[in-house]
Structure 1
Amino acid sequence: MDEIEVVVVRVFTDERGTNGNELGIVTSSPATAGREQDIAAALGFSETVFIDALDESGGLATIRIFTPAAELPFAGHPSVGTAWWLAHQRTPVGALAEKAGDVAVSVDLDADEAAIDARAEWAPAFTWLPLATPADVDALDPFSFTEGQHYAYAWIDEAAGTLRARMFAPAMGIVEDEATGAAAVAIAAKLGRALRITQGEGSELVTEPLGDGLIRVGGTVVYDRTIDATL
């Protein structure tokens, strides 16, 4: 057993800094090497990031992302949260090296906002569940989903581009994800427009198509706590 420091931030909070999806951030070390999946499962966050390398001169951080059940080549809320945390620690980078590719990032510390530019094909394959009303989305039972990755959504105001959404991913070991950046990228590409998405208990994600297959997704990030976990 080793003591491992885990920084927890909340990603895609609302304008008051509440809600948001918790993210565990771990600086890789000999104590974590080869144990990343077990550590992520023990921590139980929808995703945990391991920062493997930080090249400040090159503006690049190399990260790995784990759900409780699997490693992901790319994920949105871990990328946004890690970009913000590195800037908050005065070690900002311009991109994150992930298994899917290099992910460009931008951070506004004054507003506690961060964003990434990503491609829809980097996201997992979701089963899309378009529903008639936000109330239909709210009424879904997370435990009725027993396999796969499912993204349910309905227009709050189609003209304004506002969506109500929830995501259920038992295949990833996630009963319900509070805020899913990869799904936001994929749904923005699918619908072909900028969106403001209210997901989970009230997390807020903003997307913008950039052209050339890139979608920007961003939102507010706040520091929550630091855990000294014995694992």
Structure 2
Amino acid sequence: MTDVHVLRVFTDADGRFGNPLGVLLGAADWAADERQELAARLGYSETVFVDDASTGRLQIFTPACELAFAGHPLVGVGALLARTTGRPPRELRPVRLAEPVPARTDHDGTVWVRGAVADAPPWEHERLAGPAEVEGLVPPPLGRSPSAGEDKRWRRTQTWAWQDEAAGEVRARVFAADYGVVEDEACGSASLLLSAYLSRELTIRHGRGSVVRARPLGTDHAEIGGRVVHDGVRQVARMPRP
């Protein structure tokens, strides 16, 4: 059996909500096909395989594919490595990126990671009239592809509206059928892109009630931060290899 740490990333101040994440530590002997199979079996929007906790070397998989960069997995791993090693990491090293991802932890426990706009997945953004319209969206079941002329927001789009524009408060939801999930409860990379595009520091109420903080850094980088709750360890079977 294999231990999978289960986290909720981008919780609210009371530790509620948050996007579930699976993390395997000491995963260096897991082959790429094993990683993809387990990510699909777990069904979280992402699962992280940490090859080396001392350097932060890792890979990120959705149920459908590998990602070079993703926000909620990196924020979650930053919190988990701080918990397991006793010191917050200063950088993380996704293997598909040429440069490490800077990380930091605030005194209140908020974990931040910095990312390049060019490294984020190619999310679309759709602004709606208000929070009620965002909340009223009903995505189709996974596996049903939009036909010609149908709304394609369900594939990989962050829908959003201002909740309080003056305060930089946003209401958002992400739909991600291209990555093997109907809806991503709290998407860090899409929020990073939104902050960069708007050139605004944002507090984003995401999904059912998760909270993502984002701020632009120059024209081509931004950072995202949030709180993380550890929900324990789940044991899963490792599939036998042929």
TM-score (norm 2): 0.88
- In the other structure, the counterpart of 1:24 is 22
The within-5 A match list for 1:108-127 is: 108=106, 111-127=108-124
Please say if 1:94 is aligned against 2:87. Answer: no
Deviations 1:180-222 (A, max 9, x none): 0000110001111100000101000111122252211101111
- 2:166 is matched with which residue? 159
2:149 is matched with which residue? none
Question: Bigger shift: 172-181 or 123-132?
Answer: 123-132
Runs of at least 5 residues in structure 2 that lack an aligned partner in the other structure: 146-153
Instruction: State how many pairs are aligned.
Output: 224
1:160-196 CA distance string (max 9 Å, x none): 1000000001010010000000001100011111000
Partner of 2:198: 191
Which amino acid is 2:66 matched to?
Answer: E
Aligned to 1:69: 64
> Runs in 1 of length 4+ with deviation above 6 angstroms?
none
The residue number in structure 1 matching 2:156 is: 149
- Give the 3-state SS of the residue equivalent to 1:46 in structure 2: coil
What is the CA–CA distance in structure 1 between the aligned matches of 2:188 and 2:59, rounded to whole Å? 16
- Mind listing any 5+ residue stretches in structure 1 that lack a counterpart? none
Task: Give, in whole Å, the separation in 2 of the partners of 1:132 and 1:107.
Answer: 35
What's the offset of the Cα at 1:31?
6.0
Q: CA deviation at 1:128?
A: 1.5
Alignment check: 8 A CA contact 2:13 2:227 kept: yes
Query: 1:53 deviation in Å?
Result: 1.5
> Paired residue for 1:4?
2
Q: What residue is the counterpart of 1:38 in the other structure? A: 37
Q: 1:193 to 1:30 in 2, by over 3 A?
A: closer
Quick check: 30-39 or 44-53, which moved more? Answer: 30-39
Q: More displaced, 121-130 or 168-177?
A: 121-130
TM-score of the aligned structures, taking structure 1 as reference length:
0.92
1:90-142 C-alpha deviation (Å, 9 max, x unpaired): 1532111112331100024x523201011122111122211001000001112
